[in-house]
Amino acid sequence: MNIRQLSIFLENKVGRASAVIDALSESNINISALSIADTAEYGIMRIIADNPQKAKDVLTDTGVMVKITNVLAIPMGHKPGELSRLLKILTDSDISIEYMYAFVNEHNGGAVLITKTNNPEGAIEALGKNKITPLTENELF
């Protein structure tokens, strides 16, 4: 029930992010969500896109360091209190979040939380008890 995310190493130089996005655009890859973790020296760009394997190959060919990482895509309503409820479920099960970002998903009129936790199986189990099932890649796109 994991989905694949692209984790991309970005040097802290003008034009690096743009080069990555251009390469994906030229290969007709559609991006659903994106976030950047940055430090003074470099960044990690995280992307949810259709066809992650093709995206990885395209980026590797252009000399970008990229890895595919498994993350959870958790559906939620697009209204106040929803994210708070999800986080409480995870916290109550003692699950730590490494990172997260969210986006509104027109597809089902709701929103999606992308997260990597220290315990994906535990997270799925805890969410299941609350009748929440993480999305598959097919459901997402």
Partner 1 sequence: MWNKEIETMPREQIKALQSERLVKQVKRMYENVPAFKARMDEKNLKPSDIHGIEDLSKLPFSYKSDLRDNYPYGLFAVPMKDIVRVHASSGTTGKQIVVGYTENDLEVWADAIARMLTEIGVDANSFIQVSFGYGLFTGGLGAHYGAQKVGATVIPMSTGNTARQIQTMIDFGTTVLFSTPSYAMYLAEEIEAMGVKDQLKLKVGIFGAEPWTEDMRKTLEDKLGIKAYDIYGLSEIMGPGVACECTAQAGMHVWEDLFIPEIIDPETEEVLPAGKSGELVFTTLAKEGFPLIRYRTKDICSINLEPCKCGRTHLRINKPSGRSDDMLIIRGVNVFPSQIEEVLLKVSNNAITPNYQIIVDRVNNTDTLDVNVEMSESMFADEVRSIERTEKQITEMLRSTLGIGAKVHLVNPKSIERSEGKAKRVIDNRKL
Residues that bind partner 1 (CB under 8 A): 5, 7, 9, 11, 16, 37, 39, 41-42, 44, 46, 63-65, 67, 69, 98-99, 116
- By the 8 A CB rule, do 46 and 37 touch? yes
Shortest Å distance, C-beta 30 to partner 1: 21
Name which of 60 and 133 has its Cβ closer to partner 1.
60
Least separation in angstroms between CB 128 and partner 1: 25
Q: What angle do CA 99, 78, 131 make, to 5 degrees?
A: 75
List, in order, residues 6 or more apart from 22 with CB less than 8 Å away.
none
Nearer to partner 1, 69 or 93 (CB): 69
- Minimum CB distance to partner 1, residue 104 (Å): 24
Q: Which of 55, 69, 64 is nearest to 25 (CA)?
A: 55
